[in-house]
Amino acid sequence: LFPITSMRHALKNVDKWMRPEKRKADFPFNVLGTRAYVFHQPMGVIGVLAPWNVPFGLSYAPLAGALAAKKLHIKIAHVEAGLRSFNMKMPEEINRILTDRISDILFCPTKKAMNNLINEGYSIFESKLVLSGDIMEDTAIFYSAFSQKPEIDCSGNYILATVHRAENTDDKVRLQNIFEALNEIALHNQVILPIHPRTKKKIIEYSIPIENITVVDPLGYLNMIYLIKGCDFIMTDSGG
């Protein structure tokens, strides 16, 4: 499931903090949609089985899974910990702050993420901080060889754009300004925009004109990797 270097590094660090003779992923573990594994320590090490919940990212599912695991006294290792937008109006910001706080091991993708946690006082908490690397970057690199060209004309130079954050889509003036800029840029450079359903709904609701932009339906992961590899640059309101 995880053919990526950072995930292997993260799992090795789970070993380090669990201190088993051998690590074994006993079975896939799913708590309310959380993508996770449960790891068990050998009984000779601590005398009892010790499962681990490993939530990924910042959506509702990892938070729900982490909360359920914590209530069951299952240890938690949060992958992609320490990321911050410093915008508490974002639901994802609340999710990741709460998930980080109840986790036992925090696998941080960058030094900045590590510093965010240190600045929040994690150096004096019982949690362990690990600089594991960015699994999203590793995944993109790994699957780059399997990227697939979408059924659109993107043979020349082009800019890849995405717009879907609620702060932009739910603000009529801001969304109008964004598409005015994209329409103008598209006069000189092809702009490919895989459109998010919420963005599409708001464009229709606000009667925002789309001119010159190559608008396509949402694309699969391998199609997006292809476009990312071939574009001049990316214009986005999100890393996702």
Catalytic residues: 164
Contact 74, 61 (CB under 8 A): no
Q: Tokens representing 169?
A: 């889509």
Give the Cα separation of 26 and 23 in Å (integer): 9
Report helix, strand or coil for 31. Answer: coil
Place of tokens 């996770």: 36
Dihedral (Cα; 98, 126, 22, 68), 10-degree rounding: -30
Give the Cα separation of 38 and 30 in Å (integer): 9
Give the Cα separation of 27 and 8 in Å (integer): 17
Of 109, 102, 105, the C-alpha closest to 127 is 105
Contact 21, 65 (CB under 8 A): no
Write the DSSP assignment of 165-188 as a string of letters: -HHHHT-HHHHHHHHHHHHHHTTT
Of 157, 154, 160, the C-alpha closest to 233 is 160
* Residues in contact with 139: Cβ distance below 8 Å, sequence separation at least 6, in sequence order: 4
Contact 232, 157 (CB under 8 A): yes
